Amino acid sequence: MSLRRHKSWIGLAFSGLWILGGLYFAFLWFFCRVYVPEGHSLQLRYKGPLVLTAPEAEPNRLAGEGEVGVRAKMKGPGRHFYNPIYWQRNVVPDTVILPGEIGVVTCKVGDSLPKGEFLVDGDLDGENQATQRGILRKVFGPGRYRANPYAYEFKIVKREVKRYGNQEKNSGWVEIPTGYVGVVTLQTNNKQAGLEKGVQSKVLQPGLYPVNPNEQQIDIINVGYNESSIEVQKQVDAQGNQMHDEHGEPLATQDTGINFPSNDGFDIQLDFSAIWGVMPENAAQIVRVFGNLDAVEQKVIEPQSESICRNNGSKMGAIELLIGETREQFQTDVSEDFQSVLSEKEISMLYGLVRHIYIPKNVREPIQKGYVSDELKLTRDEETKTARIEANLREAERKVDLEAERVQVDTERLRAGVLAEGEKKAKEIAAETERLIAQIDRETAELDAQRSVLLGRASAEAKQMAAEATADKFRLAVQAFGSPSAFNKWEFAEQLPTSLDLKMFYAGEGTLWTDLESVQPTLPLKSAPK
C-alpha cells in the first residue's frame, strides 16, 4: 500500500514539473519573446528587480551591469527573450547613410567638454569610443550603423553651402573638380592633429571629401590663369554695326576703357588685358586676404590695371604713345609694374597687355601722314635699290655665262692633256713589263741549270753512299760472326728453302748409323718465317 502511494506521489511530481515547464516556455514564448526584423536593433533598458533595489546609472551615462538604465549594447535582428517585467524593450531602426551623404553624430552621454569646445574625438564603439558629450569630429560615410539612439544622434548631411558675403563655404560631401583646390577653414582648434583655428595653408587636391560642417568649411578655388580685360566701348550705328573714321580707325565712346591725359594734354583711351592666376600654394593666402577670385579681380586686377596704365601713360606724350619704340617701352613699363604689384600679393601674372591705344584724330592724322610720306620715300628708295640690284644681277649673269664658257674650254684642254699623259704612262708600263718578263725568264733558266747540276751531284753521292753502306754492312756482318767462313755458312743457311726437312737417326754410340726403319726423327733445319 505504501509503495503504491509512493509511486503516485512521484507521478504527480513529474506531472507538475511538466506543467510548470510548459507554463514557463509559454511565458517565454508569448510574453518574453521579441522579434527584431532585418535593419533594426533591440534597445534594452533595465528596470531593476521587483523586491530589492538596484543602483541607477549616473546621469548622462549608459547603465552598466546590474545598474538601472539603458544598456549600451543593442541586439541585432532575430528572436530575443527578455522578461518585460525587468526590461523595457524598444525595437529601433538602424541608421542608414546613402551614397552622397555623410552622418554627423552627436554624443549625448559622457563627461562635459571644456568651456569653448564642442567637438569630441572618438568613435561610436570600440577602444576609441567617445567619452564626452558633443559632436563627434569623425563623420560617417555611406553604410548601415547600429547606434544606440539614447547615446548617439545622427544628422544626415548631403552638401551644405553657406554664403558669407561673396564667399561660398562648402561642407558635407564636397567635390573638388579638376583645376581647382580646396582651402580648408577650421572652426575650432584640433589639438590631436596640432592644427589651429582659421584658414589652413595646406589645400585639398581634386577629389571627393566628407567634411564635418561643424569642424571645417571648404572654399573651392580655381587655380591656373584667368583673363581680365578693360575695353573701350566702340560707337555703333542704328543697325548695331561698329563705326570707323575715314582712316578705318574705330570710333571710341568717351570715358570708357582706361582714360588718362597725356603729358601734352590730349585725352588718351586704351584697351588692357591681364592674364593672371593663382597657384595652389598661394590659394590659402588668397582666401585669407581677399576671400575669393572675384574679390581679387575687383580689388586688385582692375584697379591696378587702370592705375598703372594711367601713371605710366601720363608721363608720355600722345605722339610717343603712337610711335613704335616709345610705345613698346610703355608696354614694358606697364608689364613690369603690374608684375611687381601682383607678386607682393602672391598673385601670378603671365601677361599684362596694352592691346590698343586710341589717339585723338587731330594728333593721329599729321603723324600718320608723316609716316605715309616717310613710307613712300622708303618705298622709292627701295625701288631704286631694287633696280640697281637687278642691273647688277644681269651683269653677274653675263659674267657667269662667260666664266662657264672659259671653264668648258679649260676643261677640254685639261682632258686632252690627261689622256695623252695616260697613254704615255701605259706604254711605259708595258715596256717595263716586257723587260721584267725577260729578266724573270733568264733567272728561271739559270735556276733550272742549277737544279740539274744539284740533282746529278745528289744522285752520284747517293749511289756512292749506298755502295759504302753495303760494304760496311758486309764488314760488320763478318765481324759479328767472327770469321768470313761463319758468315758464308750463315748466308748459305739463309738461302735454303723453308720447307727443307733434315732426318737424323742414332746407330749407336760413336756412330750416326742405325736402323732407318725403326727410328726416323725429324729436325727442321731452320724455322719457317713468322
CA atoms within 13 A of residue 344's CA, in its CB half-sphere: 8
Q: Is the pLDDT of residue 516 over 50?
A: no
Going by pLDDT thresholds of 50, 70 and 90, the confidence category of residue 455 is: confident
CA atoms within 13 A of residue 147's CA, in its CB half-sphere: 24
Q: Is the pLDDT of residue 436 over 80?
A: yes
CA angle 305/272/371 to nearest 5° reads: 125
pLDDT digits (tens, 9 = 90+) for 207-253: 999 999 999 999 999 999 999 999 888 877 888 787 777 666 777 77
Q: Specify the residue for cell string 524593450.
A: 89
- State residue 503's pLDDT score: 56
CA angle 491/494/498 to nearest 5° reads: 160
Which of 502 and 498 is assigned the larger pLDDT?
Answer: 498
Instruction: Retrieve residue 528's grid coordinates.
Output: 719457317
Residue 75 identity (one-letter amino acid): K
Cβ atoms of 252 and 232 closer than 8 Å:
yes
DSSP label at 57?
P
Which of 368 and 153 is assigned the larger pLDDT?
Answer: 153
pLDDT digits (tens, 9 = 90+) for 472-498: 777 777 777 777 777 777 777 777 676
Residue 437: C-alpha distances to residues 282, 424, 429, 441, 442 (Å): 98, 20, 12, 6, 9
Which of 438 and 149 is assigned the larger pLDDT?
Answer: 149
**Average pLDDT, stretch 200-212?**
94
- State residue 157's pLDDT score: 93
- State residue 515's pLDDT score: 46
User: Residue by residue, what is the 3-state secondary structure of 415-468?
Assistant: HHHHHHHHHHHHHHHHHHHHHHHHHHHHHHHHHHHHHHHHHHHHHHHHHHHHHH
Beta strands in 5-56 (DSSP E): 33-36, 40-46
pLDDT > 70: what percent of the chain?
Answer: 89
Q: Which of 310, 329, 309, 327 is nearest to 318 (CA)?
A: 327
The CATH number assigned to the domain with range 224-233+245-358 reads 3.30.479.30
Going by pLDDT thresholds of 50, 70 and 90, the confidence category of residue 370 is: low
- State residue 509's pLDDT score: 55
> Distance between alpha carbon 473 and the CA centroid of its chain, in Å?
100
Where helices occur in 281-360 by DSSP H, the ranges are 283-289, 293-296, 302-313, 318-322, 324-344
Residue 487: C-alpha distances to residues 69, 76, 466, 475 (Å): 150, 136, 21, 10
Q: Which range has the worst mean pLDDT, 30-34, 52-56, 130-134?
A: 52-56
Q: Which of 361, 256, 255, 261 is nearest to 316 (CA)?
A: 261
Going by pLDDT thresholds of 50, 70 and 90, the confidence category of residue 525 is: very low
Most distant CA atoms of the chain, gap in Å: 182
Which of 163 and 499 is assigned the larger pLDDT?
Answer: 163
Q: Is the pLDDT of residue 260 over 70?
A: yes
Strand 95-97 and strand 87-93: the pairing is: unpaired
The contacts of residue 26 (CB under 8 Å, 6+ apart) are none
**DSSP-assigned letters across all residues of 203-267:** EEPSEEEEE-TTTEEEEEEE-EEEEEEE-PPBPB-TTSPBPB-TTSPBPBPTT-SEEEE-TTS-E
The contacts of residue 260 (CB under 8 Å, 6+ apart) are 268, 309, 310, 313, 314
Going by pLDDT thresholds of 50, 70 and 90, the confidence category of residue 146 is: very high
Residue 244 identity (one-letter amino acid): H
- Domain residue spans in the chain? 224-233+245-358, 378-450
**Average pLDDT, stretch 373-392?**
82
Residue 478 identity (one-letter amino acid): V
pLDDT digits (tens, 9 = 90+) for 37-62: 999 999 999 998 877 788 888 888 88
Q: Specify the residue for cell string 723587260.
A: 435
- State residue 498's pLDDT score: 65
Strand 159-164 and strand 40-46: the pairing is: unpaired
- State residue 488's pLDDT score: 74
- State residue 201's pLDDT score: 92
Cβ atoms of 239 and 189 closer than 8 Å:
no
Q: Is the pLDDT of residue 518 over 70?
A: no
Instruction: Retrieve residue 226's grid coordinates.
Output: 584667368
Cβ atoms of 45 and 90 closer than 8 Å:
yes
Which of 15 and 316 is assigned the larger pLDDT?
Answer: 316
Mean pLDDT for all residues in the chain:
84
Q: Is 61 buried (19+), middle (13-18) or exposed (0-12) by CB count in 10 A?
A: middle
Q: Is the pLDDT of residue 462 over 50?
A: yes
Q: Is the pLDDT of residue 512 over 50?
A: no
Residues shown for the chain: 530
d(CA 183, CA 221): 7
